[in-house]
Amino acid sequence: MLGVCYYPEHWPEDWWARDAAEMAELGIKFVRIGEFAWSRIEPEPGRFDWGWLDRAIDTLGKAGLKVVLGTPTATPPKWLIDLYPDILPYGADGTVRGFGSRRHYTFSSETWFRESARIVEAYASRYGDNPAVAGWQTDNEYGCHDTILSYGPEDLKAFRGWLRRRYQTPEAINEAWGNVFWSMDVNSFDDVELPVRTVTETAPAARLDYWRFSSEQVVRYNEMQTAIIRKHSPGRFVTHNYMGFFHDFDHHAVSEVLDFASWDSYPLGFVEKFPFSEDERGRWASTSHPDIPGFHHDLYRPMAGNKFWVMEQQPGPVNWAPWNAVPTPGMVRLWAWEALAHGAEVVSYFRWRQAPFGQEQMHAGLNRPDRTRSVGGHEAARVGKELAAFGPLPENGTAPVALVFDYEASWITRLQPQGKDFLHEELTFRWYEAIRRLGFDVDMVRPGADLSAYKLVLVPSLPHVSLEALEALRKTDAQILVGPRAGSKTRDFAFPAELAPGPLQAFLPLKVTQVASLRPGAQVVSGAVSGHVSRWREWIETDLPALATYADGAAAILQHGRFTYLTGWAEADLLGDLLANTILPAAGLEPIAVPDHVRIRRRGNLVFAFNYGPESWTVPDAATKRFKLGGPVVAGADLACWEA
């Protein structure tokens, strides 16, 4: 189904009815509203002006549209900040981040927690049982503009409390953080300072705890909003719109109280945000890299309920990347269908009409500022028509391949990269790309998730292996491919006594004795499989024979039973060879190689193909297939769907 984000407060009230009618005509079912409207709802402390929002919801409802109501906490109004300046967040440099844009709050402020509860209560109690309201979005894009980690007095106070609860005694902190190292011992919890603004780096265990604390503050805050909504709005869903390539808090933990996860998909902007090569950026500038949408669909779908929404879908050029391309004609339609193929329930475009004013005036909408349907709007309308003809989409199944995604791994490797291009996000994405190039569907799961349904489990980056994660690996019969640095850290950001891979030695009898981060340039690996390693290399002590070795004869890949260990950052050639010729056969999986611009995805009995390239692609054995969309030859920026 289609949705759209709408801001009635931005437009004359006499435009609303025509807007609603045109939404319905385009095939839209859901309209998200209200998430930035606090100053218009409560223009002064305690004085509420509900009238316009009442009428807006009424207008949309009368047009047959369902409303998703966003709590307005991403934009506290000026008067609130003036009353309670302790709401404001602080940068790592110790300066306050002030009013004037959005997300100007720290999760640590007790005042903010209370005031948030008050406004959510007000929203939820007024609209909780409104028949037009189908569900809720909490806040908007937690963490956007680098707002998870705040470094102010409220944060320090809350952190000390968190430590007190976690460690009980200052001695326990000294032990856990290794404070003996540079005479960093604390004698009381009040001795703990924020781990910033120091002469050189602070203890990594302290910084990891600060990140865990900050992430848990988000969890607690989202739980608060969700609980209030559920109290007043029975039968409605609660979700939150996550972002792309953003891992500053534990989305798995936040999602535990949600009905499903949502995310905001800006495939072109993300081409500039991810560390692609300039060649890749040039090639994919107007279509997106073919794994950017899928990577996130497959990350967010398994988070809650094996379903998800795209809450914001790019409809044309955006305004926030270094360069902002116009999508290749066809892509606005393609991205919507691809989300649906990956299991989305709703694809909601951002936004109905391009705003002529404000910070995002260069961000396209389904309509131009002159009340005319935009290029992207026409593509969305085509999706609307196609969906109407298509009939209901089948249920999402389970993929054959799981990829373990750990938010803590992102924090640990960012706190201690050891080599400046060791990027967790890139490593994970490249492993995803490798398995998708071989035609497989993927479920990205949290460490500790049940892995028994999978035939292949990829573990690209898991420095700290928790007991739950270990148990899940033990209980599956899948082939398991483990990447470098796995098990290299304890809970307290220390070396395990037995060296890496730590608890994974239960499956992989080997020890990592030395590691090198490598300057740009690749090392050759050869043996049963071959290719290149760059960025990272480990030296191993083991009795296992090597599946492949480096040029100096040292082991590069080791196998034991259904576990395979990669000692370095495998380039695409090595990773592809290893998967295709060793691990997939052992897993009983047969790859379907697709060109680098085509991706396949199954939903129930349907198979979809998406072509990100300019060249067309011919579906193999097309004659035997029944096409529901497109046909045997899939043009660039086009798609096909057939029954399996």
Lookup: tokens for 239:
């979700």
Nearer to Zn ion, 416 or 466 (CB): 466
Catalytic (active site) residue 615: no
DSSP assignment of 53-97, as one string? HHHHHHHHHHTTPEEEEEP-TTS--HHHHHH-GGG--B-TTS-B-
Tell me which of a second copy, Zn ion, none is bound by residue 319, counting a contact when its beta carbon lies within the kind-specific cut-off of 5 to 8 angstroms.
a second copy
Q: At its nearest, how many Å lie between Zn ion and the CB of residue 464?
A: 4
- The residue from 35, 312, 425, 571 that is catalytic is 312
What length is written for the chain? 644
Cβ-based nearer residue to Zn ion, 3 or 503 = 503
In angstroms, give the least distance from the CB of 466 to Zn ion: 5
- Cβ contact 126:50 at 8 Å: yes
Q: Residue 312 interacts with Zn ion (CB under 5 A)? A: no
The angle at the Cα of 390, spanning 384 to 393, to the nearest 5 degrees, equals 100
- Please, are residues 132 and 65 in contact by the beta-carbon 8 Å criterion? yes
The stretch near Zn ion (CB under 5 A) out of 47-55, 407-415, 448-456, 474-482 is 407-415
Query: For Zn ion, which residue has the nearest CB?
Result: 464
Q: Say whether 141 is catalytic.
A: yes
- Give which of Zn ion, a second copy, none residue 364 binds (C-beta under 5 to 8 Å, depending on kind): a second copy
How does DSSP assign 560-610, residue by residue? Answer: ETTEEEE-EEE-HHHHHHHIIIIIHHHHT-------TTEEEEEETTEEEEE
Residue 283 in contact with Zn ion, rule: CB under 5 A: no
CB of 268 to a second copy, least distance (A): 10
Which residue, 63, 52, 72, 65, is CA-closest to 1? 65
Q: Which residue in 464, 535, 537, 562 binds Zn ion (CB under 5 A)?
A: 464
Q: How far is the CB of 506 from Zn ion (least distance, A)?
A: 17
Residue 408 interaction partner, one of Zn ion, a second copy, none, beta carbon < 5-8 Å per kind = Zn ion
- The residue count for binding Zn ion (CB under 5 A) is 3
Q: Name, in order, each residue with C-beta under 8 angstroms of 585's C-beta and a sequence gap of 6 or more.
A: none
User: Shortest distance, CB of residue 52 to a second copy, whole angstroms?
Assistant: 11
User: Which of a second copy, Zn ion, none binds 605 (CB below 5-8 Å, type-dependent)?
Assistant: none
CA dihedral 396, 398, 403, 409 (to 10 degrees): 70
- Active-site entry in 42, 141, 408, 571: 141
Q: Convert 402-456 into a string of H (helix), E (strand) and C (coil).
A: EEECCHHHHHHHHHCCCCCCCCHHHHHHHHHHHHHHCCCCEEEECCCCCCCCCCE
Residue 427 vs 533, nearer CB to Zn ion: 427
Reduced to 3 states, what is the DSSP secondary structure of residue 551?
coil
- Residue 40 contact among Zn ion, a second copy, none, beta carbon within 5 to 8 Å by kind: a second copy
306 binds, among Zn ion, a second copy, none (CB under 5 to 8 A by kind): none
**Cis amide linkage into residue 501, ω under 30° from 0:** yes
| Of 408 and 538, CB closest to Zn ion | 408
Q: Smallest gap, in angstroms, from Cβ of residue 289 to a second copy?
A: 14
Tokens of 56: 């807006």
SS3 183: coil
Q: How far is the CB of 535 from a second copy (least distance, A)?
A: 9
Residue 464 interaction partner, one of Zn ion, a second copy, none, beta carbon < 5-8 Å per kind: Zn ion
CB nearer a second copy, residue 153 or residue 356: 356
* Residue 424 sits in the site that holds Zn ion (CB under 5 A): no
**244 interacts with, out of Zn ion, a second copy, none, CB within 5 to 8 A per kind:** none
User: How far apart (Å, rounded) are the C-alpha atoms in residues 47 and 42?
Assistant: 6
Q: Which of residues 466-495 bind Zn ion (CB under 5 A)?
A: 466
Shortest distance (Å) from residue 422 CB to a second copy: 9
Given a contact cutoff of 8 angstroms between Cβ atoms, the answer to whether 491 and 435 are in contact is no
Q: Which lies closer to Zn ion via its Cβ, residue 103 or residue 251?
A: 251
Q: What are the backbone dihedrals phi and psi of residue 357, each rounded to the nearest 5 degrees, phi first? A: -130, 175
Nearer to Zn ion, 466 or 526 (CB): 466
Q: Are 317 and 332 in contact (CB under 8 A)?
A: no
Distance CA 268, CA 327 (A): 8
Nearer to a second copy, 51 or 520 (CB): 520
Q: Which of 338, 408, 571, 638 binds Zn ion (CB under 5 A)?
A: 408
**Binding-site ranges for Zn ion (CB under 5 A):** 408, 464, 466
Catalytic residues, by residue number, are 141, 312
